[in-house]
Amino acid sequence: MSKLLHRKSVLVVKDYLLNINPNIELIVLDDSARTAQDAANSLNQDVGSIVKSLLFKNTDNDYFLCLVSGDKYLSTDKLSKITGCKILKASADEVKTQTGFSIGGVSPIAHTHTPKRIYIDKNLGRFEMVYAAAGHPYVVFGITYSELIKITKAAEKNITE
């Protein structure tokens, strides 16, 4: 078994998933999934099926997690309209502090601090199965789009350009 599966950040995701659905398995990649394209190449999947977990905040330091299709870019204008406030991208330090994960391995679940709201890009709905980081750039998990919405309690929105 890969040593990566014993890393603290990966174990947090694994334990969370075990409580939700013990049939969801972690996938250790031969190559990094630090970018959506890297993950898609490693999994031999369409880049659009890769979930990018992106953290944003407003000026009151309320955090919003956005789950975006790997082939799309988040629109901060759309997110600002949805949230009713000015939106800024969280820094790498803020991402680590808020989620417990470093950029490149941010999972859509099992965060240190629960975001104020989670939004999911409707474009991910093109794929029955999507793939998200599991706490490390070399570890992901596959999940159906509908189950990802269910376990994250994400609001489906058009949040991309």
Sorted by where each begins, the domain ranges of the chain are 3-157
Which one, of 99, 103, 102, 104, lies nearest residue 152 by Cα? 99
CATH number of 3-157: 3.90.960.10
Give the integer Cα–Cα distance in Å for 46 and 100.
Answer: 28
Would you give per-residue pLDDT tens digits along the chain (161 residues)?
579 999 999 999 999 999 999 999 999 998 777 789 989 999 999 999 999 999 999 999 999 999 999 999 999 999 999 999 999 999 999 999 999 999 999 999 999 999 999 999 999 999 999 999 999 999 999 999 999 999 999 999 999 99
Cα separation, 54 vs 43, in Å, equals 21
